Structure 1
Amino acid sequence: MTGINWEDPFCAEGNNCFRIGTDELGNAYIAVAGQEDTPLTDTTKALRTMILDIKAGKADHLL
């Protein structure tokens, strides 16, 4: 696996923190902060859209 460059954690109220990362090939990853060794992967656009929707309260139960 190529190296993943992780962004700063996004944290909701409480302990819900997750991070987005990208690799040199442009693949995007998302992981619970502190568990970056087991990320989910998808396109950067899909992951960013999901996070923005969660932050907007559209899917708060997913956290």
Structure 2
Amino acid sequence: MHGITWEDPFCAEGNSCFRLGTDANGNGYIAVAGHEDACVKDSLEALRVLIRDIKAGKADHLL
């Protein structure tokens, strides 16, 4: 996808590697590393809330 700045992959235990990205329009993206063309897109704030909830153990089953 063009216009998205991807961060380095974050790899947890096992083979789960994810990438976070942003674009110039204030959107945030989450994708499985190597499959950035099939990413989830939302506002940066919505993705921040999702990531905070996952880190807090509220949504660990999503990953």
Normalising by structure 2, what TM-score? 0.79
Residue correspondences, number: 63
Question: Aligned equivalents of 2:7 and 2:57: distance in 1?
Answer: 21
Q: Note the residue ranges of structure 2 that are not aligned, 5 or more in a row.
A: none
Kindly provide the amino acid, as one letter, of the partner of residue 58 in structure 1. K
1:30 is displaced (CA, Å) by 1.1
1:18 is displaced (CA, Å) by 1.3
- For the residue of structure 2 that corresponds to 1:25, the secondary structure is coil
1:39-54 to structure 2, matched below 5 A, reads: 39-54=39-54
- For the residue of structure 2 that corresponds to 1:57, the secondary structure is coil
Describe the superposition over 1:15-43 as per-residue Cα deviations: whole angstroms up to 9, x where unpaired.
22211111122211111111111111101
Checking the alignment, whether the CA contact within 8 Å between 1:19 and 1:30 is kept in structure 2 is yes
Normalising by structure 1, what TM-score? 0.79
Question: Aligned equivalents of 2:9 and 2:50: distance in 1?
Answer: 15
Select between 44-53 and 9-18 the one with higher mean Cα deviation: 9-18
Question: Aligned equivalents of 1:46 and 1:2: distance in 2?
Answer: 22
The reply to whether residue 6 of structure 1 matches residue 18 of structure 2 is no
Identity of aligned residues (%): 71
